[in-house]
């Protein structure tokens, strides 16, 4: 019997992980990517312990700890640098026995490209829609240039503007966060910039993050409340970023000062109303295509990686493919729904510029008992088969 074939649309973090995992699960795989070349944005991200554990459960070793920097400390400070709270990530990570890794997007992409070496990857290949054959159960993806690809399963890993999702559920609106995110990678040194350190600074309607990527390379991000029309079409320059963080802790001002203007990226921050049903027949969604979330928990790629691990496990040896896909979706629904909701509530809480709410925010994190904070953070860092639901958590990890 010939091997069954999975068509993966999208070669982002989720699509590449799914492709590698499905090949390991015995599937023939092909990947189709819209971009003409694979180039990761010049920024970083945190791949937290839950995602690394998910990869381990399916035997996929990307050696991320050797390619990035293991998270060693995590502090939240006021805009002027006064400590609000040291978060107990290191002790939780130690107890879980699985590292969390701070890594550049290009290093993560390289790891995933090595893991998918040999899998056919077609660039410049934009999926438009799909049709399913009720007799054979197969699915055909149709591309904008008229080509087609046929397989037993279609995985829409095509990100926030997913064409596969649009074909499944029709047009939808996105939900803006109310702020812009600026980010950059740059060499940096400062006494507070220690190996494996993550430091968040909270102001009024603004936040800033300093994250060590290893080797003296800093990933920084800054947020600022802004009307949607402006944040989605930002044409400002470095001057505006400098002004936004003027008077903040000296390492924040210095990080921006040493960054060339051309290296500062601006991205809008948005999510969608949670989608209850991600698939039909031999088609499913994964990662941002299924459950786009705001970046406050630094778990978007983590959820895409967890999805890929669960999907590969469910499809391994499956005889009833639609049933295996629905089982994957059922297994992922509650955890990802909670992450989407928590990301938004954390975001609203942290971006507050309300003069009454802001001190409450800082006091909450100063005084929340260690046990409660640890339990909340540990839930998000824990990947388990049938992972527990994340109760209305208030927490932050590596990113805006």
Ligand X SMILES: Cc1cc2nc3c(=O)[nH]c(=O)nc-3n(C[C@H](O)[C@H](O)[C@H](O)COP(=O)(O)OP(=O)(O)OC[C@H]3O[C@@H](n4cnc5c(N)ncnc54)[C@H](O)[C@@H]3O)c2cc1C
Q: Which of 178, 203, 222, 400 binds ligand X (CB under 6 A)?
A: 400
Asked if 158 is part of the footprint of ligand X (rule: CB under 6 A), the reply reads: yes
Q: Which of 287, 296, 309, 313 binds ligand X (CB under 6 A)?
A: 287
Task: Output the six-digit token pair for 90.
Answer: 């290191």
Q: Which of 10, 68, 209, 281 binds ligand X (CB under 6 A)?
A: 10
Asked if 399 is part of the footprint of ligand X (rule: CB under 6 A), the reply reads: yes
Residues 6+ apart with CB under 8 A from 34: 10, 124, 125, 126, 127, 158
Q: Which of 7, 8, 15, 231 binds ligand X (CB under 6 A)?
A: 15
Q: How far is CA 245 from the centre of its chain?
A: 25
Q: Which of 22, 157, 339, 390 binds ligand X (CB under 6 A)?
A: 157
Asked if 196 is part of the footprint of ligand X (rule: CB under 6 A), the reply reads: no
Of the pair 140, 357, the CB lying nearest ligand X is at: 140
* Strand 139-143 with 148-151, pairing: antiparallel
Q: How far is the CB of 362 from ligand X (least distance, A)?
A: 23
Task: Output the six-digit token pair for 39.
Answer: 């180039």
Q: How far is the CB of 64 from ligand X (least distance, A)?
A: 12
Asked if 45 is part of the footprint of ligand X (rule: CB under 6 A), the reply reads: yes
Q: How far is the CB of 2 from ligand X (least distance, A)?
A: 25
How many positions of this chain bind ligand X (CB under 6 A)? 37
φ, ψ at 152 (rounded to 5°)? -90, -20
The 207-226 site mask, x for binding ligand X (CB under 6 A), equals --------------------
Q: Which of 99, 151, 159, 222 binds ligand X (CB under 6 A)?
A: 159
Of the pair 289, 309, the CB lying nearest ligand X is at: 289
Of the pair 379, 399, the CB lying nearest ligand X is at: 399
Residues 359-388 that bind ligand X (CB under 6 A): none
Contacts to ligand X by CB under 6 A: 9-15, 32-35, 45-46, 126-127, 157-161, 163, 181, 183, 267, 287-289, 295, 298-302, 304, 398-400
């Amino acid at each position: 019997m010939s091997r069954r074939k999975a068509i993966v649309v999208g070669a982002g973090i989720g699509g590449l992980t799914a492709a590698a995992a499905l090949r390991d699960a015995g599937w023939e795989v092909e990947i189709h990517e819209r971009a003409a070349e694979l180039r990761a944005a010049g920024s970083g991200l945190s791949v937290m312990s839950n995602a690394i554990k998910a990869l381990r459960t399916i035997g996929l070793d990307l050696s991320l700890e050797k390619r990035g920097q293991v998270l060693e400390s995590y502090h939240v400070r006021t805009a002027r640098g006064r400590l609000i709270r040291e978060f107990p990530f290191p002790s939780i990570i130690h107890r879980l026995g699985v590292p969390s890794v701070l890594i550049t997007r290009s290093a993560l992409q390289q790891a995933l490209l090595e893991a998918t070496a040999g899998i056919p990857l077609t660039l410049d290949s934009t999926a438009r829609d799909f049709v399913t054959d009720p007799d054979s159960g197969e699915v055909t993806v149709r591309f904008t240039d008229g080509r087609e690809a046929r397989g037993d399963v279609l995985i829409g890993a095509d990100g926030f503007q997913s064409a596969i999702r649009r074909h499944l559920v029709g047009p939808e609106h996105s939900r803006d966060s109310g702020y812009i995110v600026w980010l950059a990678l740059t060499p940096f040194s400062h006494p507070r910039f220690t190996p494996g350190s993550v430091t968040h600074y909270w102001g009024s309607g603004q936040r800033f993050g300093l994250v060590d990527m290893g080797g003296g390379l800093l990933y920084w991000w800054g947020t600022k409340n802004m009307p949607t029309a402006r944040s989605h079409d930002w044409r400002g320059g470095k001057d505006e970023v400098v002004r936004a963080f003027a008077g903040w802790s000296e390492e924040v001002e210095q990080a921006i000062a040493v960054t060339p203007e051309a290296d500062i990226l601006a991205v809008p921050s948005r999510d969608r109303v949670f989608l209850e049903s991600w698939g039909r027949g031999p088609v499913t969604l994964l990662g941002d295509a299924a459950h786009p979330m705001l970046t406050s928990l630094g778990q978007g790629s983590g959820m895409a990686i967890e999805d890929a691990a669960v999907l590969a496990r469910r499809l391994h040896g499956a005889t009833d493919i639609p049933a295996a896909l629905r089982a994957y979706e059922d297994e992922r629904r509650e955890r990802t729904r909670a992450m989407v909701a928590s990301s938004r509530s954390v975001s609203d809480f942290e971006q507050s510029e309300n003069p009454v709410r802001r001190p409450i925010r800082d006091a909450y994190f100063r005084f929340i008992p260690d046990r409660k904070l640890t339990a909340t953070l540990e839930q998000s860092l824990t990947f388990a088969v049938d992972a527990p639901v994340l109760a209305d958590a208030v927490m932050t990890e590596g990113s805006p």
